[in-house]
Structure 1
C-alpha cells in the first residue's frame, strides 16, 4: 500500500502559529521532488506540542495540498487508548489515507496491553493503520510475535514503521507477518540494509531536506540497483547523522532554512534550536550532499 520515500514532515511555525503558506509550499516541493507519501503530525512534526484541533487542522491542510497525488499517513498515536481511537477517527474524517500509531508510551504496558490497545483502535475505526515501533521514544517494544498477532487479527493493520534500530527485525517480521506486510524503515541511516532485507520504503526525516535524492535512493533499492543506492547513501549518510546531532527537529529545521532560504525554523518548547556544534555538522553534511 505504501512504498518509497515518505517524509515525516516538519511543521513550520511563525510567531507560535502554524505557518500554512510555508507548509503548503513544503508539501508541494516534496511531491514535485518525487516523495511517494507524506506523514503530517509525527514526532518530527512536533505533534506532541499540538492541541487536537490544531493537530487535525494540519492534517487537513496536508490532505488538501496533496490532493490525492500521494497518500497521507497522519500521526495519531496516544498512550491513552480512548484518545488514540478518537485520533484515528479524526484523522479519517480529515481525509487521511492511513494513520501512524505508536504503542502506549510512559504507561509501559506489557505485550498483552499493547495488543489490546491496537485491538480497540483497529475494531473501532476502519482506517488503515501503520504501527510505529520506536522503543527509544516510547520505552515499549512491539515484539515480533505480538506484531504477528496484531497483523493476523486485524486486516486494517497494514504495516509498520520500524525504528527499533535492529535490522534483523525486518527478516523476523517478514517471516512472522508475511511478505505482504508493509515494512517501512524509521531510520534513514539504516535504510539501505533495511531495504535489502525486504523493506518497502522509509518514513524519512532526511527527505524533508533532500526529497529528490531520498526518492531516487528508494527507487534504486526497489529496482534492485544497490550500486546506485549505495552511491546515494554515501552522499547522504553524513546528513542522516547530522540531523540527529541535537534534539530533533531542531537540526532538520535549521537544515531546511539553509536549503530553502526563508523557511521558518521556529520550534515550540520544550524543543529548542540546534546548538552550534549541530549547526556546523549540518552545514558540513549539506555541502557533502551537494545541497548548498
Structure 2
C-alpha cells in the first residue's frame, strides 16, 4: 500500500441509461477521456450524490468493470465505500480490497441515520479492517450526511489505521491545523470542491477533489498547480466564474449534459429526483 500520489482527483459522475439502469461503459469511456486530457486520478462512486442510489450489486458491477476495462493501468482510481447498512459496506470493502485496479478508498459515513460517535467508529473500523491493502481517505461531509465526525474520533482512526493517508473535510476548516497538531505523521487534506481554494490552502489543505474537472480537466490541473505555487491567478477569473455558475445548482446533470455534447458519451441524467 502506497500513499496516493496525485494532488488532484476528479470525482466522475456515474453513467446510466435512459431507464436509469447502470451503464458502466459510459462511465469508463468518460474516465478514458479524462486520462487523455491529463487527469491521473479519478474518484468513482463518491462525491456526486449518485452513489447513494446504487445497490450493492451495482457497486460491485462497477468495480468489476473498472478492473476489466482497458483504462490506463497507471491511473490512480479511488473508489467510494459507504452504505446505510454496515454489512453492505463491509461486503463492498472486501471486494474493493481484492480489486487490483483500485488504489484507494474514500470512506464515507451513511446519510440520514446520524450515528453516535461510537457507532461511527465501529462502522468505520468494520470497513477499515477489510481494506489493509488500500490507501484510505476519510470523508466528513455533515451537510450531506447529517453526521459530523468529531475531531477526537478522526484522530483516533488516524492513529489506529496507518493506511489512512488523507481526509476530505467539508465541515470546519480550522480542524485541519488542530488535527495536524495531534498526530505524528503526515496526512493529506482534500478540498471538497473547486471554489474558495486559496482559503482552504491557507488552512492547511493540500489536495483537491474536483467536480468541474470533468469538463475542464486541463484547466483545473493548471489552476491548482499555479495557486499552490503562489503564482498570479488573475487569468483564471472568468473561468472561476463559469465554475461558480456550474456549481450553483444541478451540477451533476449539467455536467452530464455537457459530457454528451463534448465527448459524445450519453451518460444520461442522474436518477430521479436528481436531474428532474
TM-score by length of 1: 0.82
Q: 1:242 to 1:124 in 2, by over 3 A?
A: same
What are the within-5 Å matches in structure 2 for residues 238-277 of structure 1?
238-261=241-264, 263-273=266-276
Deviation at 1:182, TM superposition (A): 1.5
2:7 and 2:263 map into 1 onto residues whose CA distance is: 23
Note if contact 1:104-1:114 (Cα within 8 Å) is conserved in structure 2.
no
- RMSD over aligned CA atoms reads 2.4
Unaligned runs of 5+ in 1: 274-292
User: Secondary structure of the residue that 2:181 maps to in structure 1?
Assistant: helix
Q: 2:12 aligns with which of 6, 9, 14?
A: 9
| Residue pairs, 1:75-224, within 5 angstroms | 75-95=80-100, 96-126=102-132, 127-164=134-171, 166-177=172-183, 180-222=186-228, 224=229
Distance 2:85 2:202 in 1: 36
Ranges in structure 2 where 5+ consecutive residues have no aligned partner:
none
TM-score where L is the length of structure 2: 0.86
Q: Which residue of 2 aligns with 1:57?
A: 61
1:33 aligns with 2:37: yes
Displacement, 1:171?
2.2
Structure 2 CA distance for aligned equivalents of residues 179 and 199 of structure 1 = 15
Count of aligned positions: 269
Instruction: State the 4+ residue runs in structure 1 displaced beyond 6 angstroms.
Output: none
Distance 1:239 1:208, change over 3 A: same
| 1:204-254, Cα deviation, whole Å (9 max, x unpaired) | 1111111111111222244x23424x643x243223322333344223223
Q: Which has the higher contact order (CA 8 A, sep 6+)?
A: 2
